[in-house]
Amino acid sequence: MISKACLVGAYQRKLEEIAARPGIDLTVIVPPAWRDERGTLALERAHTEGYRLLVEPIAFNGRFHWHYYPRLAARMAETQPDIVHIDEEPYNLATWHAMRLARRAGALALFFTWQNLERRYPPPHAWMERWVLRHAAYGIAGTDEAAAVWRAKGYRGQMAVIPQFGVDPDIFEPGERPRADGPFTIGYVGRLVPEKGVDLLLHALAGLGEYAWRLSLAGDGPQRAALMELARELGIAGRVAFEAQMPSTAMPQHYRRLDALVLPSRTRHNWKEQFGRVLVEAMASGVPVVGSDSGAIPGVIGEAGLVFHEDDVDELRAHLARLLDDRALHRELAGRGRERVLAHFTQAQVAAQTVAVYQDMVKRAGR
């Protein structure tokens, strides 16, 4: 498997679960770090039992469409894989490069996709995308919506719908409820960028009158300074804590400090919410969730949380007031969220479904 996402320690539990399945010999290639608008994410070694985790230099670090692993050919020759799981979108150079090397090595290759908008890319990415779709032995899409995009773009191969990662419910587990130490704590976790709608959350909270609440914003990004200024303008800066991006291993404890989690994403012409992993982490932790109806959010939440229309500050404010007022509803949603994760989103379930894809690939190839 080739995956920059597996830099994240919490995600590595899926790798341990895959490696524990009979007949699987797993090697995972990751870069030493990845850069994005939040800064630099260095490799976290948290769950590394049962498989080989190899760190390889990455070219064009931080360039989503252009990065690749220059020494990948040597690693292919060394490991002689039967299957190459490329944890990247079909239009990326990293996917095209890895799939060509896999075919040269006689291995079957698959790609992973979250892309839920039918976007057209200029050459050379359009050429690489067509080549990947023509030669992939399998595709894994994170959602049904993403799968539909690639069918519309002409992919006719085998495809499964499996989230990229689940959560480990023994790590992300509820804390003691109700807490009696301070105000109702509302959380947001993620990038501080306009499409995530954090400004909407600030406006919603500013209209909550005399309710006792505080807001924790955990993450970083280019909108941080503007959001701090907005909190001051709205007169709520004293109740808003801007917290640094945390290592994934610190997140279970962080969620246990929250009374609700909000994901107020808004769709843009080139992006809509692809999954919202923080939702399932919070739900597993017994934290009620509130999300907009952008992209995959309603399908992830199901009946286990509250959903509002994108950019509707009044509806978001009303949902937050309900959670503040109605402790019975709060307890009910906390339980429903945990149950939904156990039923659909555990790392063990994701791993089992992924291994089933590997087995189907081998069977269809007659190997």
| Distance in Å from the first CA to the final CA of the chain | 19
Angle at 61 between CA 57 and CA 63, to 5 degrees: 145
328 and 314 in one domain? Answer: yes
> Does 175 map to a domain?
no
Please tell me the total count of domains within the chain: 2
Query: Would 178 be classed as within a structural domain?
Result: no
Residues 149 and 213 in one domain: no
Same domain, 331 and 306: yes
- Respond yes or no on whether the N-terminal peptide bond of residue 57 is cis (omega within 30° of 0): no
Asked whether the beta carbons of 1 and 208 are under 8 A apart, the reply is no
- Tokens read off for 174: 């509820």
The contacts of residue 293 (CB under 8 Å, 6+ apart) are 307, 308, 309, 310
353 shares a domain with 327: no
Asked if the structure places residue 124 within a domain, the reply is: yes
Expressed as residue numbers, the domain containing 46 is: 5-166+346-365
**DSSP code, position 34:** E
Is there a single domain that holds both residue 107 and residue 141? yes
77 and 203: one domain? Answer: no
Q: Is the link from the previous residue into 31 a cis peptide, with omega within 30 of 0?
A: no
Are 58 and 206 within one domain?
no
- 61 and 132 in one domain? yes
In terms of Cα–Cα distance, which of 161, 71, 157 is closest to 116?
A: 161
Q: Is the dihedral of CA 93, 98, 104, 110 positive or negative?
A: negative
Helix (H, G, I), strand (E, B) or coil at 89: coil
- Give the pLDDT of the chain (367 residues) as one tens digit per residue: 999 999 999 999 999 999 999 999 999 999 999 998 878 999 999 999 999 999 999 999 999 999 999 999 999 999 999 999 999 999 999 999 999 999 999 999 999 999 999 999 999 999 999 999 999 999 999 999 999 999 999 999 999 999 999 999 999 999 876 565 679 999 999 999 999 999 999 999 999 988 999 999 999 999 999 999 999 999 999 999 999 989 999 999 999 999 999 999 999 999 999 999 999 999 999 999 999 999 999 999 999 999 999 999 999 999 999 999 999 999 999 999 999 999 999 999 999 999 999 999 999 999 8
How far, in Å, CA of 22 to CA of 3, rounded? 22
Q: Which domain CATH number covers 206?
A: 3.40.50.2000
Is the distance from CB of 216 to CB of 187 less than 8 angstroms? Answer: yes
Cα separation, 143 vs 160, whole angstroms: 9
Nearest to 31 by CA among 64, 10, 354: 64
